[in-house]
Structure 1
Amino acid sequence: MPSSEPDGPAPAARARGLRKTFGRVVAVDGVDLDLPSGAVVGMLGPNGSGKTTLIRMLLGLTRPTAGHVELLGRTGADLPAALPDVGALVEGPGFHPFLSGRDNLLRAAATEPRLDGDLRAPVDAALERVGLAGGASGATGGGDAARRRYRGYSLGMKQRLGLAAALLVPRRLVVLDEPTNGLDPAGTRDVRGVIAELHDAGTTVLLSSHLLAEVEAVCTHVAVLQRGSLLVSGELTALLDGGSGELVLTTDDPDAALGALRAAGAGPYLRDGGVVVPAGPLEPPEVVAALVAAGVGVWEVRRRRAHLEELFARLTEEDE
């Protein structure tokens, strides 16, 4: 996913020829991927496509079989030096079950190299940010959810606490693997709000999710994986604009437009009061010229943007 501005900032993370095998199983196969600095990148793929394995290699948590990773300008043995600038929620959070959410977060804060002295302020701020302080919407029974033992947390509350741990200090890169898993609609909106805040602050966010509507709502870029291979990556708007060749026309006489376009060799049809021209032999100027020559008034011509679900289905089906 090269940057559209060659002279711009270096990618937050870069993978080249990344491959990971487990015995005879190829989990990730020769992936080249850039995470543009400041972007919100949605990583998509069916179960078993290699998303989590790729994320773990990008963070230095799993050693690649081949290829190399650059993380915030660090490579090789120097990779761990980048981790204080990275917040990650990968494969679900893991905390001590008999401690409260707040005590778990205090322990996590104690391991942060950029935090010292009184840890209560950053912990309280993180809990407030994810809605676990003072009766979160995801906490059953009300009260201060942060004071409850972790073993009594719902899945959504566990996700919130894991997100809080990732946000204890300002980060340059935040990696979220299925962050809305177990959250109700209010919790999902909260996570979207946090991602928007991070993006506004210039933080790079890598979001792995099965919820295509969620990715389409918050991401600026996407990367689609299938069976360990990268099918496509790039800016979301550009990929969606290129995902449908249909033209949608508004005319003063839809029936006459249908006749003129069919005579010109197109295969138009009506939808929601407009005339739709599928991708085919006629380019947009030829479509308009055919209508004008037939005396049909053209009020609007636009190319229909595909939804992410359509793009994802088309890419994975073509790969199959």
Structure 2
Amino acid sequence: MSTVTDMTETEEAPAVHAAGALPRLAARTRNLRKVYGRTVAVDHVDLDVPVGAVLGMLGPNGSGKTTTIRMLLGLVLPTAGTVELLGHKMPDGASWALPEVGALVEGPGFHPFLSGRENLLRVAAAEPRLASKDIPRAVGQAIERVGLSGAANRRYRGYSLGMKQRLGLASALLLPRRFVVLDEPTNGLDPAGTREVRAVIADLHAAGTTVLVSSHLLAEVEATCTHVAVLHKGAVVAQGGLTELLEAGDAKLMVSTPDVTVAVNALRDNRIPAREVPNGVHVDLAATTAPEVVATLVGAGVAVHEVRRQRTGLEELFTRLTESAEKGNGLSDVDTFEEPS
């Protein structure tokens, strides 16, 4: 974020952690609520973004993702609740937190009659941590990083939606950040552009940068994120590590064997639910464990070629969560999953 107020030497950042202590969370909200007239856009959201994570904020359009992000960055004042960003209360700590944040929110906005490069030069000139002599180099590197070198000198008004999105991403990556926020970063991109954005996110994660990605595309979240927060009608219905969430559903095991009929009969004889599927046996682990399944099959003389745990897909998990919230039937164990500290 480039809009920052000057600080005097006597001013101190309104930190929420003890001096020298590093926050475990890069961002946190508690009881966050935003109301526009009679419309509740965000309803008591408790969001945790672990340091170094790539968190996918997942939800359909209108679920409150962008409004939550805008409050997180101090762009919109909450109706109620608190926000902490990089260890500082927001919006009071914006002058200290935002220079460490790169953000692309609700699509980029640039001067239409300037080229992409000229627009980025203007953005870079407002960066408090970027020296004037370093601006051309930083702009060139950001343009190359998002694959926009061939169109950098074209006027912005002639850009396609995907090119505009790339330029917005470049503006968020002008210099190293501790926290990067990307709101629908693959919007308007072709498959090649989508792969490039995935690569950028992977590079940021490898460098230790915390990334918050807002999306309604399940495949993109599953391909790029380490953590997930699912929003539905302004509320968080699940959050936690992606792997843990996907494995917290109904446990299943896939057994590859040429002795399918013998395997199914042996498991059923031991009251273990199993059914035949192509190339193997599908086993329900609700009342047993994987070692017990393998022991039962080996004891029955079944040739076991491969055993792998079959986890819930993100699409299945998302559908179950949102349907549960829609019906108002309360949340299941997976919905209330919390990462161990």
CA distance in 2, matches of 1:87, 1:169: 9
1:190 paired to 2:189: no
- 2:107 matched residue in structure 1: 92
Q: Percent identity?
A: 66
User: Structure 1, residues 272-317: CA drift from partner, whole Å, max 9, x if none?
Assistant: 2110023544444554454455444444433202221222122112
CA distance in 2, matches of 1:286, 1:116: 63
1:73 paired to 2:87: yes
Offset at 1:243?
2.9
1:110 paired to 2:125: yes
Q: Indicate if the aligned counterparts of 2:258 and 2:280 stay in contact, CA closer than 8 A.
A: no
- 2:51 matched residue in structure 1: 37
Aligned length: 304
- 2:183 matched residue in structure 1: 177
- 1:142 matched residue in structure 2: none
CA distance in 1, matches of 2:161, 2:83: 32
User: Structure 1, residues 205-239: CA drift from partner, whole Å, max 9, x if none?
Assistant: 00011221111111111110111111111111111
Q: Counterpart of 2:32 in structure 1: which amino acid?
A: L
CA distance in 1, matches of 2:305, 2:22: 40
Report SS of the residue matched to 1:97: coil
Report SS of the residue matched to 2:24: coil
Offset at 1:260?
2.6
Q: Indicate if the aligned counterparts of 1:38 and 1:204 stay in contact, CA closer than 8 A.
A: yes
- For 2:218, which of 212, 220, 227 is the aligned residue? 212
Which ranges in structure 1 are unaligned for 5 or more consecutive residues? 1-6, 136-144
Offset at 1:251?
3.6
User: Structure 1, residues 110-152: CA drift from partner, whole Å, max 9, x if none?
Assistant: 111112323211111111111111x2xxxxxxxxx11111100
- 1:223 matched residue in structure 2: 229
Q: Counterpart of 1:106 in structure 2: which amino acid?
A: L
- 2:337 matched residue in structure 1: none
- 2:147 matched residue in structure 1: 131
User: Structure 1, residues 165-212: CA drift from partner, whole Å, max 9, x if none?
Assistant: 101111111000111111111111111111111111111000011221
**CA separation of 1:253/1:153 partners in 2, compared to 1, >3 Å: closer, same or farther?**
same
Alignment of 1:257-272 (within 5 A): 257-272=263-278
CA distance in 2, matches of 1:214, 1:70: 27
**CA separation of 1:287/1:117 partners in 2, compared to 1, >3 Å: closer, same or farther?**
closer
- For 1:234, which of 235, 240, 251 is the aligned residue? 240
- 1:164 matched residue in structure 2: 170
CA distance in 2, matches of 1:81, 1:68: 17
Q: Indicate if the aligned counterparts of 1:50 and 1:225 stay in contact, CA closer than 8 A.
A: yes
Report SS of the residue matched to 1:179: coil
Report SS of the residue matched to 1:67: strand
Offset at 1:51?
0.5
Q: Indicate if the aligned counterparts of 2:23 and 2:86 stay in contact, CA closer than 8 A.
A: no
Report SS of the residue matched to 1:208: strand
Alignment of 1:10-49 (within 5 A): 10-49=24-63
- 1:138 matched residue in structure 2: none
Report SS of the residue matched to 1:311: helix
Alignment of 1:241-256 (within 5 A): 241-256=247-262
Q: Counterpart of 1:112 in structure 2: which amino acid?
A: E
**CA separation of 1:285/1:189 partners in 2, compared to 1, >3 Å: closer, same or farther?**
closer
- 2:336 matched residue in structure 1: none
CA distance in 1, matches of 2:140, 2:291: 59
- TM-score, structure 1 normalization: 0.89
Alignment of 1:3-14 (within 5 A): 9-14=23-28
CA distance in 2, matches of 1:250, 1:301: 6
**CA separation of 1:262/1:203 partners in 2, compared to 1, >3 Å: closer, same or farther?**
same
Offset at 1:270?
1.6
CA distance in 1, matches of 2:302, 2:199: 47
Which ranges in structure 2 are unaligned for 5 or more consecutive residues? 1-20, 327-341
**CA separation of 1:285/1:116 partners in 2, compared to 1, >3 Å: closer, same or farther?**
closer
- TM-score, structure 2 normalization: 0.84
Q: Indicate if the aligned counterparts of 1:28 and 1:228 stay in contact, CA closer than 8 A.
A: yes
- For 2:97, which of 77, 82, 100 is the aligned residue? 82
